[in-house]
Amino acid sequence: MLIDGKSVSQERLEILNREIRESGLSPGLATVIVGEDPASQMYVRMKHKACDKVGIRSVGVVLKDDATTEEVIAHVNALNEDASVDGILVQLPLPGHIDTEAVIEAVSPEKDVDGFHPENLGALFSGRPTFVPCTPGGIMTLLEEYNIEPKGLNAVVIGRSVDVGRPMAALLLNADATVTICHSKTKNLAEEVRRADLIVSAIGKAHFITKEMVTPGAVVIDVGINQDEDGKLCGDVDFDAVSAIASAITPVPGGVGPMTIATLMENTFKAAKNHLC
Ligand code: GUN
């Protein structure tokens, strides 16, 4: 079974558009981008486009790549104070000279639609999620839409990043899976992955997950965005070989990626509703 993130995301955006219209609210998202990384610029453009589609106002703060940590935080603080802004997203990665953690911590937890603030990550790990990071949140939505119940499954998450691996593990644990997190120092990684009923790969290496690492019938979720030898976009999973034995698998592109943006839109509407209270 092919897990079609593109169509699920389109459905979710249509539902959200209806809910926003019915709510009479006018949610607002602010993005902050520092520098001119083409990939980051593209992601931010896609986020603004999704806002237009669902009826979220969006404003973009664009800073030069020599902006200081203090300058970025000053902009974040102004957005924290701005009542017309419900959600704030600082596009990552930030240039190396900027203290990324300080910037993330400057975002008001009530406006942290990325779910990266330690207060929101702490809530997630306590089993009481507030804003869930968009990529793992989108993956949980996909599993739900395809009736894949994590309860009791051996789930193996590959990658321990703060934006994907760690929150993914917490969400699966909250959903009663038995969770293993693998990373670059894991011994016998292939053996760990072979025990999985559900694999989430967020390692960022083309063709990393081979058929030999996957138990037939496993569910395979590919978060990777890489280029293969021919410069073609691909995930972490050797799709052609693994799709022949997996029970369900996400493609790249068209799998997890579109769900990240749909979840960001849902988080922004949630922030707007919270701000009414
Ligand atoms: N860069 C890559 N993915 C993300 C994301 O989900 N949020 C932000 N803010 N930056 C990113």
Residue 5 lies in a domain: no
Distance, CA of 133 to CA of 168 (rounded, Å) = 9
237 and 163 in a single domain? The answer is yes
Is residue 208 in a domain? yes
Interval 167-209: pLDDT, tens: 999 999 999 999 999 999 999 999 999 999 999 999 999 999 9
Question: For ligand 1, is residue 259 a contact (CB within 6 Å)?
Answer: no
Residue-wise pLDDT for 184-193, tens only, equals 999 999 999 9
Integer-rounded Cα Rg, in Å, for the chain is: 19
Query: Is residue 138 included in any domain, yes or no?
Result: yes
Q: Is 34 in the pocket of ligand 1 (CB under 6 A)?
A: no
* 89 touches ligand 1 (CB under 6 Å): yes
**Residues facing residue 88 across a β-bridge:** 30, 112
Instruction: List the one residue out of 110, 145, 150 whose CA is nearest residue 131.
Output: 110
In terms of residue numbers, what domain contains 86? 24-108
- Residue 179 covered by a domain: yes
Residue 224 confidence (pLDDT): 97
* 57 within some domain: yes
Give the number of C-alpha atoms closer than 13 A to the C-alpha of residue 229, restricted to the C-beta side: 2
What is the CATH number for 214?
3.40.50.720
Q: CA nearest 141: which of 264, 276, 274, 275? A: 264
Alpha carbon nearest to ligand 1 atom 2, residue: 92
> Are residues 155 and 101 located together in one domain of the fold?
no
Q: Are residues 158 and 90 in the same domain?
A: no
For residues 179 and 196, the answer to whether their CB atoms sit within 8 Å is no
* C-beta 31 within 6 A of ligand 1: no
User: How far is the C-alpha of 88 from the C-alpha of 163, rounded, in Å?
Assistant: 16
Q: 109: part of which helix (H) or strand (E)?
A: none
Domain boundary among 59, 90, 108: 108
Residues 247 and 180 in one domain: yes
The CATH number of whichever domain residue 86 belongs to comes to 3.40.50.10860
- 263 assigned to some structural domain: no
- Pairing, β 233-234 against β 226-227: antiparallel
Same-domain check for residues 104 and 138? no
For residue 260, give the ligand 1 atom closest to its CA.
6
Tell how strand 178-182 and strand 233-234 pair up: unpaired
φ and ψ at 202, to 5 degrees?
Answer: -135, 60
Check pLDDT > 80 for residue 154: yes
Residues 94 and 193 in one domain: no
Q: Is residue 190 part of a domain?
A: yes
To test the pocket of ligand 1, the residue of 79, 113, 163 to mutate (highest count of ligand atoms within 8 Å of its CB) is: 163
| 74 shares its domain with 140 | no
Model confidence at 127, in pLDDT bands (50, 70, 90)? Answer: very high
Q: Total domain count for the chain?
A: 2
Quickly state the pLDDT bin for 277 (edges 50, 70, 90): confident
| 159 pLDDT tier (thresholds 50, 70, 90) | very high
Q: pTM, whole model, 2 decimals? A: 0.97
Residue 96 located in a structural domain:
yes
Query: Is the same domain home to 32 and 98?
Result: yes
For residue 154, the CA-to-ligand 1 centroid distance in Å is 27
Query: Which structure tokens are listed for 184?
Result: 């670059």
Q: How far is the CA of 260 from the centre of ligand 1 (A)?
A: 9
CA 134 to chain centre: 3
Atom of ligand 1 nearest to the CA of 90: 9
Q: Report, as residue numbers or ranges, the catalytic residues.
A: 47, 91, 114
Peptide bond into 93 cis (omega under 30): yes
